[in-house]
Amino acid sequence: MRFFYMQDDSLLHHRFVPNANGRYKTLEFDTDYKLNALGLRDHEYSLQKPPNTFRILMLGDSFTEGDGVMSHETFSKVLEARLRKLPTTMRFEVINAGVPSYSSMLEYLYLKHYGLQLNPDVVMIHFDLSDIYDDIEYAKSARFDENGNPVDATIKCEDVELKKEVGIAKTDPVTGEYFIALPTGRYYAYYADVKG
């Protein structure tokens, strides 16, 4: 089952839908969900860190994301509120980048491709025992380079007769899958540009 605020992602397996808003109601809780333009369950942030700001990036699964609680009740926002009460002129930002069902491998990929763009001073990875199982499951179909890092590749498709690129796709580093829609009745060549 996919929730209104979740989407498939070719790099990260799944991620939040940017700017999604709605209500998530179960027998246990009734919670508003508001996601920012970066697809985080948090308020808006610029990639450029404001002057005199100490920025903490929180990575993790649904515990970090705050499944079942309002956004201001997540431990990221509780920490931010406490840090802002310190007697200092430094401004603190604690960015909640938690996503349900993420594990260390997906958190690494998020950090590498997106998280570091936020220029964090500290990155905190919140690990729980379900991450061990999740990493085993994601790794079963993941592709790795010689150093053990997950590999994503760009698949390019060329029309053989026209000698022209006609399609491009990113592989899912977790499954290795990709999708390119092409017309039938032509001859195509495929090649991959692999990056670790």
Instruction: Note whether 165 and 93 are same-domain residues.
Output: no
Residue 146 lies in a domain: no
From the list 154, 156, 147, the residue with the least C-alpha distance to 173 is: 154
Counting the structural domains of the chain, the total is 2
Tokens for 85? 């009460």
pTM of the model: 0.72
Confidence tier at 187 by pLDDT (50, 70, 90): confident
Closest C-alpha among 81, 102, 108 to residue 92: 81
Are 35 and 43 spatial neighbours (Cβ–Cβ below 8 Å)? no
Q: Is 123 part of a structural domain of the chain?
A: yes
DSSP class of residue 42? S
Claim to verify: residue 104 and residue 65 sit in the same structural domain: yes
**Domain assignment of residue 160, given as a range:** 152-195
80-120 per-position pLDDT tens digit = 999 999 999 999 999 999 999 888 888 988 999 899 999 99
